Structure 1
């Protein structure tokens, strides 16, 4: 019996090692792609710019409609606003030229794009304008499948017991209507069968079979490949197979990055998976969720930003707790080393005393000197350890700087959201437009009181971290250009701009959003202040090097 168990263990061991090795390889590939993210985005933009040249060189209406469609496909999961721009251009041109095919095609695409942005009522309004009597087979499939997606997204958004089931039933009905028109020769056909098995047949095993067939047929940089992998991760996660869940989350995230898909869901789910299953890798979870948030901002998906922002504080809080625990361990190590150092000093004192006592005995003196030399060597090693610990503390300070920037960014975003929701609710309730209240968004600026509160808190938080910032900033300016503060706990507008640059926020547009000015105003402030600098060419680089030590040691 024991031999049989050992034999089984030996058989399973290579499979376990292989699974672990595959996960590590996928993680390494994902990290490498994240490091090359800017290059991938630049290549994507180059492809888009090549397409845009066709708009200036071609006067053929059909060619223009085709180019608008291609540009929409490029922007579809890359940038929401740009995708919407070329859809509207296509709709306008198709109306002017009475091209029914492209008019209906663009309306269907616009409805699905609006649903991605959370504008569900608007999406239904757009798709209702489609003349279904003139649709061909492919367009009929896109028409019904878009309605399926709209109601699926709407159901996920509601997340309640009243409206979610209603939208689920509508989505199921439209998927049933779509499948007879699906092209069986399409490489993504198996993906659609998987969706049908999940939402209509409620058969997870059959769905998994179709998704696996889909990823075997589709290229890895395909959006349908990424969606199939994401669906498989959920399937394996539901049955408790964590290894497979992580593997397909990694594959989906890799495919999204290769395809420059900014409207993604896999990376933030991967971050939450790591957060829930691997507490010792919180720094990795924090990195992934931060990247997902940056992608949502890049795509301009408001719902995804809110969704990620609700998860981000949980990971950041746990990450901060981990850092605090590491700091405690370091402090204990410093105390122990200090005690050892005191012991070493006592030993040295004893040796010196013994040396004086045995000065007439040369041999004993030599022996004591050798001991003293050995102890000095140990002391140097301890000093090197102290140096390493100090380096760790400096690294911790650097991480706190990043957390400070994150905190400031979140504060600004939450203030904007609260104001937007307040205005929207008042207006829509007065107009008795409660249904539209769920989807419409507002872009009004903050009230002066809220803005002043945020700036006051920003000043206090920043000066708590960098109490010497105003003095060090003045050291970079000419005597006649030095900034005089009316209050010791408040920053001037010029100082706030430089404070944000010190924290790594260098774009005038981003600074304008945070300080409630226009980008041009921020640019003017920066130009004026740079003109007062001692070294104008390197002024902002020198600002980023100010206050290398955060705050002052606590009196506690």
Structure 2
């Protein structure tokens, strides 16, 4: 058995768990699941305790029968609810040690140990044979109490196991007689007295009395974890009989937790809990707990427990598989739905992205169109401005020429009427076409530089410093700049430029070529840059 300090520690831990989780079923089930998850720790502590006892036994002198008996008894109790085969082995060794000692009470104690383990494993005939072989003459009251208690438990177990009403009732009555015999010998203030009274009250269906007794056992006595498990299990059955299923489930769960933490493999709490959870539709937990109960029954080696679990296990497994299949189908449906929705989202995203790209391209085209339109507008504004300037100048100049022609005509008419033919030569000589042309160029330069005040500076930026054109104030443009000024306002035909400036086409071509050859720009880029020079 686990030493008392460790038991007390486990009880305190369990109590703290219970206080923290007692308000809800789910919380207690969570504690149980965690306890099962960490059960290897509890099992290792149990095994360490057993190995320590075996070491003590191996180091004890075989002739010291009292010491050998005491250690074998401890090993038997350690295995009693843990592993049937080993418990049975040490019960037999107890009998051998008792025989060597020659004391009646030790022999009775050994037989009671064997009877207990036989009953726990479902070997009822063998258990009764062992009990019936016990002689109570000369034994202590405590052994008599244990004998009657074991007889009572054996008959109660048979009553529960036997489905026949006659034999069940008969065994129940015999169980009551033996438990009464035990109660009569027990200390009325002791734990055993309360356990026996609670056992009978539950057996005869006096559930309110049984409830009160087991509550007192849990609250008022310093009991081990294994004893707590048995008391909780009884409280669970009593609450179920009273119709309080919630409380019943709580105490059955508490019992299962205590069984796991005390490494009790000979137990029905976990099996009953799995069955209850199955009825409540908690298939996942029911499946986990029934499989753990099956492992415990197989480990302990109790054939009747294995049969009991085997009767429930297939039904829960089948329901679990059906649930898993249903969940799988639901998951598949969900995945198909999600996949379809994802495809739809991808499709919509593709359409939106495509529309976005088209919109972006349209926006880009619109921006480019707007830019071109703005550029065209600027050019139109510039052309209009140039036209306004030069058309105004043309009207003014044409008006002046008409006035001159009118005066020239009148002078000629007067000379002809007065027959002063010699004076006609002087009148014709008064017309200086070269001077008129120069005046026209000066006016052109004036208007052009008013329209393009940065023309000269910008134009010069296309040349090295030594090749730039220097224009002083109030001076006309040189022929080279005038050619490109005409080009800038839109007169690009060489013949037209030659006609305006009074030069040959070849001369105009040579001037252009000479200027371009000195520029830091390429020939193709030069005229484009000239056309980019802006008006005011």
TM-score using structure 1 length: 0.58
C-alpha displacement at 1:346, in angstroms?
4.3
Residues 247 and 188 (structure 1), Cα distance of their counterparts in 2 relative to 1, 3 Å cut = farther
User: Residue 199 of structure 1 aligns with which residue?
Assistant: 203
| Equivalent residues in 2 for 1:335-374, closer than 5 Å | 335-344=336-345, 346-347=347-348, 350-351=351-352, 354=355, 361-362=362-363
Contact 1:227–1:252, Cα closer than 8 Å, also in 2? yes
Deviations for 1:241-278, whole angstroms, at most 9, x for unmatched residues?
A: 1221111112111211221111011111111121112x
Contact 2:194–2:217, Cα closer than 8 Å, also in 1? yes
User: Residue 227 of structure 1 aligns with which residue?
Assistant: 230
SS of residue in 2 equivalent to 1:174: helix
User: Residue 172 of structure 1 aligns with which residue?
Assistant: 176
Residues 358 and 82 (structure 1), Cα distance of their counterparts in 2 relative to 1, 3 Å cut = closer
| Equivalent residues in 2 for 1:172-321, closer than 5 Å | 172-200=176-204, 202-219=205-222, 221-277=224-280, 279=281, 281-321=282-322
User: Residue 386 of structure 1 aligns with which residue?
Assistant: none
Contact 1:267–1:292, Cα closer than 8 Å, also in 2? yes
The structure with the larger Rg is: 2
Two-structure CA RMSD over aligned residues (Å) = 2.5
User: Residue 48 of structure 1 aligns with which residue?
Assistant: 50
Residues 333 and 98 (structure 1), Cα distance of their counterparts in 2 relative to 1, 3 Å cut = same
CA distance in 2, matches of 1:161, 1:329: 48
CA distance in 2, matches of 1:67, 1:355: 87
Deviations for 1:181-206, whole angstroms, at most 9, x for unmatched residues?
A: 12334334322221122235x42111
CA distance in 2, matches of 1:362, 1:96: 109
Deviations for 1:42-80, whole angstroms, at most 9, x for unmatched residues?
A: 111111121122222222111111111111111110111
Residues 283 and 360 (structure 1), Cα distance of their counterparts in 2 relative to 1, 3 Å cut = closer
C-alpha displacement at 1:173, in angstroms?
1.6
Contact 2:183–2:193, Cα closer than 8 Å, also in 1? no
C-alpha displacement at 1:345, in angstroms?
5.2
| Equivalent residues in 2 for 1:445-464, closer than 5 Å | none
| Equivalent residues in 2 for 1:92-171, closer than 5 Å | 92-171=96-175
CA distance in 2, matches of 1:301, 1:161: 25
User: Residue 508 of structure 2 aligns with which residue?
Assistant: none
C-alpha displacement at 1:332, in angstroms?
1.7
SS of residue in 1 equivalent to 2:191: coil
User: Paired residue for 2:77, among 62, 65, 73?
Assistant: 73
User: Residue 35 of structure 1 aligns with which residue?
Assistant: 37
CA distance in 2, matches of 1:246, 1:66: 39
CA distance in 1, matches of 2:364, 2:222: 81
| Equivalent residues in 2 for 1:327-476, closer than 5 Å | 327-344=328-345, 346-347=347-348, 350-351=351-352, 354=355, 361-362=362-363
Deviations for 1:453-496, whole angstroms, at most 9, x for unmatched residues?
A: xxxxxxxxxxxxxxxxxxxxxxxxxxxxxxxxxxxxxxxxxxxx
CA distance in 2, matches of 1:263, 1:27: 20
Contact 2:81–2:300, Cα closer than 8 Å, also in 1? yes
SS of residue in 1 equivalent to 2:178: helix
Deviations for 1:294-353, whole angstroms, at most 9, x for unmatched residues?
A: 111111111101101111112111111221221122222222233334434543564576
Residues 302 and 349 (structure 1), Cα distance of their counterparts in 2 relative to 1, 3 Å cut = same
CA distance in 1, matches of 2:209, 2:355: 86
C-alpha displacement at 1:159, in angstroms?
2.1
Residues 218 and 292 (structure 1), Cα distance of their counterparts in 2 relative to 1, 3 Å cut = farther
| Equivalent residues in 2 for 1:3-14, closer than 5 Å | none
C-alpha displacement at 1:105, in angstroms?
0.9
Q: Which structure exhibits the higher relative contact order, with contacts defined as CA atoms closer than 8 Å and separated by 6 or more residues?
A: 2
CA distance in 1, matches of 2:361, 2:127: 101
User: Residue 95 of structure 2 aligns with which residue?
Assistant: 91
CA distance in 1, matches of 2:244, 2:192: 26
Structure 1, gaps ≥5 residues long: 1-17, 367-556
Residues 355 and 276 (structure 1), Cα distance of their counterparts in 2 relative to 1, 3 Å cut = closer
SS of residue in 1 equivalent to 2:320: helix
Residues 331 and 101 (structure 1), Cα distance of their counterparts in 2 relative to 1, 3 Å cut = same
CA distance in 2, matches of 1:52, 1:186: 32
Residues 103 and 305 (structure 1), Cα distance of their counterparts in 2 relative to 1, 3 Å cut = same
TM-score using structure 2 length: 0.61
Structure 1 residue runs of 4+, over 4 Å off? 348-360, 363-366
C-alpha displacement at 1:290, in angstroms?
0.9
CA distance in 1, matches of 2:130, 2:184: 24
SS of residue in 2 equivalent to 1:261: coil
Deviations for 1:388-421, whole angstroms, at most 9, x for unmatched residues?
A: xxxxxxxxxxxxxxxxxxxxxxxxxxxxxxxxxx
CA distance in 2, matches of 1:19, 1:255: 14
Structure 2, gaps ≥5 residues long: 1-19, 368-536
Contact 1:218–1:224, Cα closer than 8 Å, also in 2? no
Residues 203 and 335 (structure 1), Cα distance of their counterparts in 2 relative to 1, 3 Å cut = same
| Equivalent residues in 2 for 1:506-525, closer than 5 Å | none
C-alpha displacement at 1:233, in angstroms?
0.6
CA distance in 1, matches of 2:270, 2:343: 51
